[in-house]
Chain A
């Protein structure tokens, strides 16, 4: 099996194991998933260089990804979600989001890009990103998560490191808490 095939198989197994260890939205399931993805990234010797430019690009990505939902929230006059329970949740979400980006926009991206080019790497990562969220929310998340996955892939391509999409992903998740 090719390296890309192995990575996709490992990714599918990790998603399945997340659903098998308990309620899929539990902290434990999320952490198990993160550990599996980080283990794969380490096995594949994925590098995650961090630069000031990557962080700034990532922060700009947060604004982009959160803009429509924030505007809708603001215009509807809805209150922000309460902060009770935020800290524990935020710590776990940060680990999970970072792990997803290190694997999808690091390990998998590098493998696909070296064989089929950057556009294919962005597309494959976006499809995997959208599919991985289906067990959590259902099929209706596909349009938004596919779009966000393409943006995260674009950030990876522009910055040259998974650090930029990781900043965007973590930031958007944290903002997402308050916009629920």
Chain B
């Protein structure tokens, strides 16, 4: 086969492979961008100060009494410590625009028997026309929070005002260290877990690693011996 035909075959192969693969990137070696350290409003005791956490704001016009656009709210850390998805028509107000804002807070009070290790995020919904209410479409709204570590046991908690008790929400893992729950309404949201579960990542699986390395060394030696002339 000549050069041009080989390139054509290559292009065909890549094209077909691309068509058969959902959300493909060309090759890409699966090296994720590491998260920056968690940013605290107030660093934990004994911890060094961090960069201040960011807040997030989004706006939507109001058409026929409800929010026109779907909104994505995301703070600016790598990876975002808070993000939220609000579908179109999820908020009602007499006039627009509706502004939704997420502001990191120092969690001065934790849920009973649990501890909030990171920040709480205060969500407010405002419009120039007065109060903003949620419609049935808001049932599809969800929010993500990044935990301070990758351990299990985190649950999203909510309280509508600073004086109300925290309420645990149905929470699922949304990534290595992020957790997702439904948006209930304006108020404070925070990830908490049992105070005794102070974290963390668990050690490396030493025995399997040691066995794997020993096996690999043996294989390398075998390859080396077979590569030696004579």
Q: Which of A7, A25, A140, A147 is close to B223, meaning CB atoms less than 8 Å apart?
A: A7
Within 8 A of B (CB), among A67-113: 67-69, 72, 84-85, 89, 92-93, 96-97, 100
Q: What residues of chain A lie closer than 8 Å to B230, measured between beta carbons?
A: none
Within 8 A of A (CB), among B142-195: 150, 176
Total interface residues on B, using CB and 8 Å? 46
Q: Are B209 and A69 in contact (CB under 8 A)?
A: no
Q: What residues of chain A lie closer than 8 Å to B27, measured between beta carbons?
A: 65, 97, 145, 148, 169, 172-173, 176
B210-230, CB under 8 A of A: which get 1 and which 0? 001101100111111011000
Given A69-B25, A143-B16, also A89-B33 (CB < 8 A): yes
A140 to B24 alpha-carbon distance, docked (Å):
9
Query: Measured between C-beta atoms, what is the minimum distance from B22 to chain A in Å?
Result: 6
Q: What residues of chain B lie closer than 8 Å to A150, measured between beta carbons?
A: 10, 13
Query: Measured between C-beta atoms, what is the minimum distance from A137 to chain B in Å?
Result: 7
Within 8 A of B (CB), among A151-171: 151, 154, 158, 169
Q: Compute the total of residue contacts between A and B using a CB distance below 8 Å.
A: 158
A24 to B28 alpha-carbon distance, docked (Å):
14
Q: What residues of chain B lie closer than 8 Å to A56, measured between beta carbons?
A: none
Q: Are A175 and B223 in contact (CB under 8 A)?
A: no
Q: Are B212 and A9 in contact (CB under 8 A)?
A: no
Query: Measured between C-beta atoms, what is the minimum distance from A35 to chain B in Å?
Result: 11
Query: Measured between C-beta atoms, what is the minimum distance from A146 to chain B in Å?
Result: 6
A3 to B223 alpha-carbon distance, docked (Å):
7
Within 8 A of A (CB), among B122-146: none
B25-48, CB under 8 A of A: which get 1 and which 0? 111111111100000000000000
**CB-based nearest A residue for B14:** A147
* From B26, B176, B216, residue with most partner A Cβ within 10 Å: B26
**CB-based nearest B residue for A126:** B13
A39 to B224 alpha-carbon distance, docked (Å):
11
A35-50, CB under 8 A of B: which get 1 and which 0? 0100110011100000
A136 to B7 alpha-carbon distance, docked (Å):
28
Query: Measured between C-beta atoms, what is the minimum distance from B148 to chain A in Å?
Result: 16
A4 to B10 alpha-carbon distance, docked (Å):
26
Query: Measured between C-beta atoms, what is the minimum distance from A72 to chain B in Å?
Result: 8
**CB-based nearest B residue for A148:** B27
Beyond the given A30-B31, A67-B11, A140-B22, could you list 10 further A-B residue pairs with CB under 8 A, ordered by the A residue number?
A: A6-B223, A25-B32, A40-B220, A44-B223, A64-B14, A68-B15, A85-B33, A89-B31, A145-B27, A148-B17
11 A-B contact pairs sorted by A residue (CB < 8 Å): A20-B212, A23-B176, A30-B31, A40-B220, A43-B223, A143-B20, A144-B20, A144-B21, A145-B17, A147-B14, A175-B26
> Which residues in B have some Cβ–Cβ distance to A below 8 Å?
3, 6-7, 9-11, 13-22, 24-34, 78, 150, 176, 204-205, 208-209, 212-213, 215-216, 219-224, 226-227
> Which residues in A have some Cβ–Cβ distance to B below 8 Å?
1, 3, 6-7, 9-10, 13-14, 16-17, 20-27, 30, 36, 39-40, 43-45, 60-61, 64-69, 72, 84-85, 89, 92-93, 96-97, 100, 133, 136-137, 140-148, 150-151, 154, 158, 169, 172-173, 175-177, 179-180
